[in-house]
Amino acid sequence: MTNLDASLREQVRILGEGLGHTMSAALGEDFLELIESIRVLSKKVHQGEASHQELSQALDNLKDDELLPVARAFTQFLNLANAAEQHYRARERVVEDYRRGEQPGFSRLLEELKAQGITSQQIFEALKTQQVELVFTAHPTEVSRRTLIQKYDALDACLDHYENAPNEKKRLLVLKRLEELIAQAWHTDEIRSQRPSPVDEAKWGFAVIENSLWDAIPAYYQALDEQLEDLTGSKLPLDAAPIRFASWMGGDRDGNPRVTARITQEVLWLSRWMAADLYHRDIDQLRSELSMHAASDALISRVGPVKEPYRVLLGEVRERLRATLDWLKARLDGQPYDDERIIFDADGLREPLLLCYESLCEKGMQVIADGLLKSILRRLAVFGMNLLSMDVRQEAPRHRQALAEATAFLGLGDYSSWSEQEKIAFLTRELDNPRPLLPASWPCSDETREVLDTCQVLAGERPDALGAYIISMAAQPSDVLAVALLLKTAGVDRPLRIVPLFETLADLDRAPEVIDQLLSLPWYQQYSSGRQEVMIGYSDSAKDAGQLAASWAQYRAQEAVTEICARHQVHLTLFHGRGGTVGRGGGPTQAAILAQPPGSVQGRLRVTEQGEMIRFKFGLPALAERALEVYTSAVLEATLAPPPAPRPEWRALMNQLAERSVLSYRALVREHPDFVRFFRQMTPEQELAKLPLGSRPTKRKASGGIESLRAIPWIFAWTQVRLMLPAWLGSDQALIESIQAGKTEQLREMIEGWPFFASNIDMLEMVLAKIDLPSVQEYEDVLVEEDLKPLGQELRQRVSDLMTHLLELREQQELLELVPLTRQAIHVRNPYIIPLHQLQAELLLRVRACETDGQCSVNVKPETLERALMVTMAGIAAGLRNTG
């Protein structure tokens, strides 16, 4: 195996030694020796030189009061290893893992496009009009507390100082600071005492922008400009922004009762306040820099014959931003405030800044204009005056309920019992009617009042503060028209983007028909103005049908919707609701974008960035710059040089694979009489509800079973026990049967020539590499009743058979043979994760015995056991990284 980069190994060693010193100071040298003995034994287990039983026996010998600190020790090391790897990735510009020689890059892409006969002007125009929007969401996948994340980010700066220290004295000072930060992390609780509120989640998103993206954006666009100028002789216009950002934080109310209209309004104001504050700091610094006196006639006529015209104008801008901050603070405090100087939109700030920019250029000072001033203009193009535009998401049944109550109140009958055509006739009639559907105040349920209150919040906001209104569980054209009518009823007097979200297999199959019917309605044709956005759900479709069948259904739905929108002469934007894990559409950005159907991108893309993946991609400025480059390059390539459509014989085989896969998946998950019991005994699914990860409940219905469990905890639970079942179940039987039927060469052709299929196989390989079958068996041995163990043995055998056949298909000796960084990262972490698995299994046994039988240890409190269990969850999640 190729060794990890020497500098990365050195940094892991330094951080590990610092943790050892901290633990020794806190708990004594004997405890440090205990941890080291467990680590060495676990490493031998991982290398096949010792058995899991030996490690299990060593952990069984732990005293009750050692369980928590041992769990914390291994969890902290994994967090420190992540910090070292993040630093390495930022330095080497490797934000995601690809096969050797396949790291995407903008300059490389430009050469390839030119070689294909695409002109420089075509490239420039495509970039100038590109519309990519990354939508931050606060799904409960981020385990680490924000205070710890800040400490790990500080470690990054220290590692940079250590690498660049000019002498040994400076290095020793850096090492002292490193140990201080490690000690701070050790003496800080890993687990939140309570769930974050939706406002807390939004503030966390704002912090990513403040601490990373605020610097990354101008740096990235400067690099992009330099490459474009070399290629085309032109730079991007100052108001162009191929990549922008939006957010669901504070707006995603799908099954989250904590997101209310009041919360949405508060987050909207907080977002604008944060933007105004960041610009205020920038303008303050810019004003101190622009002390020159030569100015254009336009600027002089604006401020008069003053000695320092730039400072005078920027002083006015600074005061306007101060008034804007005071206004937003008053709104947040519920106080009235009025000031004619308030800046409401980006144009109010852009106009004076452009006046300064043009003046400097006119007077021969472009080098000054292209400094901080240009950086602020680039930020303004990306973030506007709202920082993040907000999407609102609500489930279609809530809208149907609101309209059913409204029609009952008006004596028109029961909306919910009407046919689809009757609903469409009513909705379009009312949408054309100039009078309001309802009086301002009418008796309705609390749920309906909340829907209407949310619409009223949107009515009071400026258009640039808002993104899209997402309808989850959308099933009919009437679901889109229903939202339009509710918005009209609340006073929204402009078209708002209304986006149906298709999630389950059945919904994806029906999506083309729904969009075709919707775009055929005269009222909607006028409302949508030739543009349509459609969201494709990855999480629930994979949970419903298994990864392979869901992925193919998503592909086919996108193909068909793309064709329908082209037929209606409508500009389509596909919104991909992807998560961090393979089971939720995760994977390297470039591979995922190029795996989309040809013609479905066309310079427009929206995609969610969820939970922990926001930090891994955008948490450090250098990582964020690289992530932005990958997104820009991939969308440009998919637009100008899309992959060819799959051959008919490939589609036929894919249909067979998907059909066999979904039958196999559902035969176990839905039909096997013992599956639910096995799942709940084997995994910490029930205990996950106690882990205060995010503001949203783990289930849509408190009393529901697996069918009501959200996709994130469903995947999280299987990841914790290292079986990764949602990402491979069903795919195994489909692929193995196809190989056994003599389709190996055709499958290899599909991997070579069809990016969609290659991406699926790559992700399957990555998932299989993260599975640890001895740990899986350990959970079974400790937690699963005897009559269920044959099911566990069957699943382990299925995984083992899939690994064998996949290696044969790929003609490899080991998994991830051609993706060394990922393979090495798993290899390095396993000796630290394996003890956490064994500890978790034992803690689950004890916690459950204490809860069900009252058999609690007299030497340890139940809350200590639960905290130790939560720490193991956090540690395993940190070790495996993309857990949700």
| Same domain (yes/no): 489, 579 | yes
> Is the entire prediction scored with pTM above 0.85?
yes
Beta-bridge partner residues of 244: 133
| Residue range 257-308, pLDDT digits in tens | 899 999 999 999 999 999 999 999 999 999 999 999 999 999 999 999 999 9
**What are the start-end ranges of the E strands in 204-271?**
243-247
Say whether both 464 and 570 belong to one domain.
Answer: yes
Same domain, yes or no, for 309 and 425?
no
**In terms of domains, do 607 and 652 share one?**
no
Half-sphere exposure of 452 (CA within 13 A, CB side): 21
Mark whether 566 and 630 lie in a shared domain. Answer: yes
Helix-strand-coil split of the chain, %, nearest 5: 65, 5, 25
Q: What are 806's two structure tokens?
A: 């996949």
In a domain? residue 833? no
Beta-carbon contacts of 664 under 8 Å, excluding residues fewer than 6 positions away, are: 546, 729, 730, 732, 733, 734
Q: What is the pLDDT of residue 15?
A: 93
| Residue 615 belongs to domain spanning | 390-640
- Answer whether 354's CB lies under 8 Å from 348's CB: no
Summarize pLDDT for 713-734 with one digit per residue, the tens: 788 899 999 999 999 999 999 9
Asked whether residue 226 falls in the same domain as residue 288, the answer is yes
Whether residues 325 and 367 share a domain: the answer is: yes
pLDDT for residue 159 is more than 50: yes
As for how many domains the chain has, the answer is 3
862 inside domain: no
Same domain flag for 420 and 557:
yes
The proportion of the chain whose per-residue pLDDT surpasses 70, expressed as a percent, equals: 93
Q: Which residues of 217-251 are buried (b: 16+ CB within 10 A; e: fewer)?
A: bbbbbeebbeebeebbeebbebebbbbbbbbbbbb
User: pLDDT tens across 854-879, in order?
Assistant: 667 656 778 888 889 999 998 998 88
Q: Looking at the structure, tell me whether residues 629 and 662 fall in a common domain.
A: no
Q: Which of 818, 837, 864 is the C-terminal boundary of a domain?
A: 818
Closest CA to 872 of 227, 251, 190, 304: 190
Window from 154-158, 351-355, 390-394, 549-553 with minimum mean pLDDT: 154-158
In angstroms, the CA 276 to CA 293 distance is 27
Q: Catalytic residues, which ones?
A: 139, 543
Helix (H, G, I), strand (E, B) or coil at 132: strand
**How confident is the model at residue 636, as a pLDDT?**
95
Residue 64 has pLDDT above 80, yes or no: yes
With CA atoms as reference, report the closest residue to 661 among 764, 559, 773, 771: 764
The predicted pLDDT at position 569 comes to 97
pLDDT band at 31 (very low <50, low <70, confident <90, very high): very high
Evaluate whether residue 149 is within a structural domain. no
Q: Which residues pair with 132 in a beta bridge?
A: 243, 605
Residues 375 and 396 in one domain: no
What pLDDT is stored for residue 582 in this prediction?
43
Average of per-residue pLDDT values in the chain: 90
User: Residue 335 — φ and ψ, nearest 5°?
Assistant: -110, 150
Same domain, 629 and 562: yes
Write phi, then psi, for 34 (nearest 5 degrees).
Answer: -60, -45
Residue 466 phi, psi dihedral angles, 5° rounding: -110, 145
Final residue of a structural domain among 609, 640, 671: 640
